Structure 1
Amino acid sequence: MQVAERKTTSRRSRLTPEREGELYNAVIDLLREVGYEALTMDAVAARTRASKATLYRQWRGKPELVATALRSLKPGTLKEIDTGSLRGDLREMVRCGEHNAERDADLLRGLAHAAHDNPDLQQALRELLIAPELVALDALLTRAVARGEIAAGTPAMHFVPHMMTGAFVARPLIDAAHADDAFLYEYIDAVILPALGADPDVTARLAVT
Structure 2
Amino acid sequence: MSDHVIRLSRLTAEREQEICDATIRLVCEQGYDALTMDAVAARTKCSKATLYRQWTSKPRLVAVALRHTRPVLTADIDTGSLAGDLRELVRRMGTESNRDVDLMRGLSQAAVNNPDLREALREVLIDPDTDALGAMLRRAVWRGELATDSAAAPFLTYALVGPMIGRRILDDRDADAEFMTRYLEAVILPALDLT
TM-score normalised over the length of structure 2: 0.90
TM-score normalised over the length of structure 1: 0.85
Counterpart selection for 2:27 from 25, 31, 38? 31
Moved more, 181-190 or 171-180: 171-180
Moved more, 44-53 or 100-109: 100-109
Amino acid corresponding to residue 57 of structure 1 in structure 2 = R
Paired residues of 1:63 and 1:120 also in contact (CA < 8 A): yes
1:109 aligns with 2:105: yes
Paired residues of 2:32 and 2:107 also in contact (CA < 8 A): yes
Q: CA RMSD in A?
A: 1.6
Matched with 1:54 is 50
Cα separation, 1, equivalents of 2:72 and 2:158: 20
Cα separation, 2, equivalents of 1:192 and 1:76: 19
Cα separation, 1, equivalents of 2:140 and 2:92: 19
Report the count of equivalent residues.
Answer: 188
Query: What is the CA distance between 1:44 and its match in structure 2?
Result: 0.4
1:177 aligns with 2:149: no
Query: What is the CA distance between 1:108 and its match in structure 2?
Result: 1.6
Amino acid corresponding to residue 185 of structure 2 in structure 1 = D
Percent of aligned positions that are identical: 55
SS across alignment from 2:33: helix
Query: What is the CA distance between 1:144 and its match in structure 2?
Result: 1.3
Matched with 1:122 is 118
Cα separation, 1, equivalents of 2:76 and 2:138: 15
Structure with the bigger percentage of helix: 1
Counterpart selection for 2:36 from 11, 24, 40? 40
Paired residues of 1:171 and 1:177 also in contact (CA < 8 A): yes
Deviations 1:112-161 (A, max 9, x none): 11111111101100000000111110110111112222111212111000
SS across alignment from 1:152: coil
Residues 15 and 99 (structure 1), Cα distance of their counterparts in 2 relative to 1, 3 Å cut: farther
Counterpart selection for 1:63 from 59, 63, 67? 59
Paired residues of 2:94 and 2:177 also in contact (CA < 8 A): yes
Deviations 1:70-93 (A, max 9, x none): 001223521111111212111211
1:188 aligns with 2:184: yes
Deviations 1:22-81 (A, max 9, x none): 100110110111110110000000111111111110112000000000001223521111
